[in-house]
Amino acid sequence: MTDRRAFSRVKARLRACARPLRKADSSAMYRWSAAHVERPTEKELLEAQVPHTLIRFLTALDQKLDMLLALQGQDQIFQEYPHRLEIRDISGGGVIFYSDENFAKGDVLEIVITLCDAPLQTAAAVGRIVECGPEQEYHFVFTNIREHDLERVVQFVFQEEREQIRREKWA
């Protein structure tokens, strides 16, 4: 449990969905993310002597395709993961979420967290509910998370921390 405390934690408001599992040491089945797609940089396109107008067109088209893929991907996620969650607090060790569903301490879930809508960026983890709070608030600890999913969560937390520091500095 001490290594879980090593992660920074931030308040956030994220969508997630879940499905029940039997064992906390199961690995997450969810694997798809649009963030895995390698894209040429603008610099690479310029070096290949692609005209500026074509680069702008291709970039706009790429962004639109990202939005369509995100919508399609979210629909697929919602079909496979029936429980809706609203994450209010996130770290590399787990999350605090609210849900209209009733869960119990010890319940094992696989969750898929939407970190960014477009391009769709998600992280999946298996974990256990360790505390049930008031108003269907649940404390969820990751028991099995793949390295690249953990990296996405940690990067999200750091980005949120930087934004909070900037807001406080300029407030």
Domain boundaries, the chain: 2-170
Residue 127 pLDDT: 96
Quote the CA–CA distance of 116 and 165 in Å, as a whole number.
20
Residue 38 tokens, joined: 């390698």
Residue 22, amino acid = R
Fill in the amino acid letter for 124.
Answer: A
CA distance 20 to 5: 25
Q: From CA 101, how far away is CA 19, in angstroms rounded?
A: 11
pLDDT number for residue 57: 87
Using an 8 Å Cβ cutoff, are 113 and 16 in contact?
yes
Both structure tokens of 47: 């070096």
User: What averages of pLDDT result for each successive group of 10 residues across the chain (171 residues)?
Assistant: 66 94 71 57 82 85 73 68 95 96 96 85 94 95 94 95 89 76
The third-level CATH classification (topology) of the domain covering 2-170 is Thrombin, subunit H (2.40.10)
- From start to end of 92-163, where are the E strands? 94-98, 108-116, 121-132, 137-144
* pLDDT at residue number 144: 94
| 3-state secondary structure at position 97 | strand
pLDDT digits (tens, 9 = 90+) for 5-19: 578 889 999 999 999
- pLDDT for 95 equals 98
Burial class (CB in 10 A: 0-12, 13-18, 19+), 43: exposed
CA dihedral (13, 19, 24, 30) positive or negative:
negative
Q: What is the pTM of this model?
A: 0.74
